[in-house]
Structure 1
């Protein structure tokens, strides 16, 4: 009687080949127990190996899924196809992922191709800046299920002393309110902005704590030295316009306006050509100066405006507000993970392309998951 031999094909311990059937039948009880033990042990090891392989495969699949969803979607501002961004800006299209939710709570409004081809042809860097900015907003809106509409300003006509490009904000806002009648809030963003924290939702960052982070008066910050007190102002009313202030006054590079009757009336008055014709040579900052004037003189307007900290939705890079370069209220802080950076005025003595490249790379670095670094 030969010893038991391990068969790699059947993964079992069997008598050696050549043993007769009589030999197999004549196994002693001890040999039978030993054979059964080895067979059971082999089966256990085989099943454990298969289980380990299955678990390893599931781990790899889940790892790749979360890696792609975490890295490609929020950080895709560089990796988005240039053609897709170009199509959005040229057609003024709205977000394609809203087929099931046609009335999102928030809609982002982005003005693209500002002045393109009217004064001069845009260069390659200016087109690249536009593509990066558009893809940044598209990735953010898609991640959180928000709307996105991109308005093309190519056809803006410039007159010798009545240039109204900045005033188009009111007209575009009214148009967008008609397009999204069920939307609650609209977020206007200038093209030279970047969302630096794509994982933060607007609910989490602002609207779930709106009463804690907004000022209803100018007592804490009043760069224009406007009158603090005005009769008939009711600060208990709900906020319908959320703006920020910088070193020069009201900043409209990034602001929120509610879809309400009050907002529509404000836009009508704000866009009033009578006031524009009277003041367009005096108001250096155009629509911002007009809103400041309305705030200073109209109690019903002051009652519905709230002020967010500048860095909450409008942080500046170094070089902006240069007279206040040591004031931390104005400038982007990487440690605090400020939500949005606004490179306003970069075309006046600064490097727009260099700034947006820097902050786009920084955004990707700050929001890249640790495990993706093993692959890049």
Structure 2
């Protein structure tokens, strides 16, 4: 009987051929592609399901609640106006603020480090301080210590800052610095877009009584105004001339600024007929007082002090 013999093993086996790695490589590539497609698909679903306002609107800025409606800012300089008059100014501000639910920020010359700049720059720092201390206020009204609030019945948010009222008050296409500045106020500006309200006198813009609407623009404006370059430039009228410069050379500021008649917030005790105080005006200022001296200043203001006290007592 014959049995089949197993195949003879050769002493020269065939060369070793490694397994092909092509197939696993293809699998990895496909997995990556599938993962990428899935991510894109999920991203599209996320975008489609989001509200249109969240996809297209700009970041929402914080809107002050209007608590308090107004912060009344004044910087005292007893050396210029004397103790008696300074005391009357503080009393005047506190009574007016209490009547309307406003707050006050009453600073003194020397309260802030101005890095060697003239003390009149304190006004700008005090306004910045007011926005920090009362972040939800709606307006800041700066009224310097040379004046009194004479009509306690008038409220800033209605007498000046109401949009329809501003539409009536503001001077459009009007020279920023009188009499013939080539830079003029915007002709198409609406009251609702105004963030800074100023007046002029014969010398130019007046910084003794102004109103700023609280918000991101107000912070930008005050930071620009207080720039170290302007403080060190040695303007003749310090912060007032710096203000005239920035409103003429910064369109971002000019675009939010309104100039109104002087008597609305900034009557003078004497001067031109258009500027001179009349009964019923909101405020009166005495810009010549410092040059006249303390005694002359007290004499000039005495009748007005009596008048505002009577007006407040009757209101």
- TM-score (norm: length of structure 1): 0.59
Runs of 4+ in 1 over 4 A off after TM superposition: 155-159, 365-370
Do residues 188 (structure 1) and 142 (structure 2) align? yes
2:104 pairs, out of 148, 151, 161, with 148
Contact 1:193 1:342 in 2 (8 A): yes
- Residue in structure 2 matched with residue 110 of structure 1 by the alignment: 74
Structure showing greater Rg: 2
- Residue in structure 2 matched with residue 129 of structure 1 by the alignment: 85
1:166 is paired with a residue whose SS is helix
Which ranges in structure 1 are unaligned for 5 or more consecutive residues?
1-100, 117-121, 319-324, 371-376
- Residue in structure 2 matched with residue 210 of structure 1 by the alignment: 166
Q: In structure 2, what is the Cα distance between the partners aligned to 1:156 and 1:224?
A: 35
- Residue in structure 2 matched with residue 268 of structure 1 by the alignment: 223
Do residues 358 (structure 1) and 299 (structure 2) align? no
- Residue in structure 2 matched with residue 11 of structure 1 by the alignment: none
Which ranges in structure 2 are unaligned for 5 or more consecutive residues?
1-64
| Cα separation, partners in 2 of 1:295 and 1:137, compared to 1, 3 Å | same
Report deviation, 1:170. Answer: 2.2
| Cα separation, partners in 2 of 1:229 and 1:191, compared to 1, 3 Å | closer
Q: In structure 2, what is the Cα distance between the partners aligned to 1:158 and 1:178?
A: 18
Q: In structure 2, what is the Cα distance between the partners aligned to 1:229 and 1:245?
A: 13
- Residue in structure 2 matched with residue 314 of structure 1 by the alignment: 266
Contact 2:89 2:148 in 1 (8 A): yes
Q: In structure 2, what is the Cα distance between the partners aligned to 1:216 and 1:261?
A: 24
1:332 is paired with a residue whose SS is coil
Report deviation, 1:365. Answer: 4.3
Contact 2:69 2:102 in 1 (8 A): yes
1:347 is paired with a residue whose SS is helix
Q: In structure 2, what is the Cα distance between the partners aligned to 1:212 and 1:233?
A: 13
1:244 is paired with a residue whose SS is strand
2:274 pairs, out of 329, 332, 337, with 329
- Residue in structure 2 matched with residue 71 of structure 1 by the alignment: none
Report deviation, 1:306. Answer: 0.6
Contact 1:156 1:165 in 2 (8 A): no
Q: In structure 1, what is the Cα distance between the partners aligned to 2:187 and 2:247?
A: 11
CA deviation map 1:15-73 (0-9, x unaligned): xxxxxxxxxxxxxxxxxxxxxxxxxxxxxxxxxxxxxxxxxxxxxxxxxxxxxxxxxxx
Report deviation, 1:349. Answer: 2.6
Map 1:213-292; keep pairs closer than 5 Å.
213-218=169-174, 222-228=177-183, 235-236=189-190, 238-277=193-232, 279-280=233-234, 283-292=235-244
Q: In structure 2, what is the Cα distance between the partners aligned to 1:199 and 1:354?
A: 26
Report deviation, 1:110. Answer: 1.4
| Cα separation, partners in 2 of 1:109 and 1:367, compared to 1, 3 Å | closer
Do residues 347 (structure 1) and 290 (structure 2) align? yes
Contact 1:109 1:188 in 2 (8 A): yes
2:291 is paired with a residue whose SS is coil
- Residue in structure 2 matched with residue 338 of structure 1 by the alignment: 281
2:158 is paired with a residue whose SS is helix
| Cα separation, partners in 2 of 1:204 and 1:275, compared to 1, 3 Å | closer
Contact 2:173 2:187 in 1 (8 A): no
Contact 1:233 1:303 in 2 (8 A): no
| Cα separation, partners in 2 of 1:249 and 1:354, compared to 1, 3 Å | same
- TM-score (norm: length of structure 2): 0.70
Q: In structure 2, what is the Cα distance between the partners aligned to 1:291 and 1:149?
A: 22
Superposition RMSD in Å: 2.8
- Residue in structure 1 matched with residue 155 of structure 2 by the alignment: 201
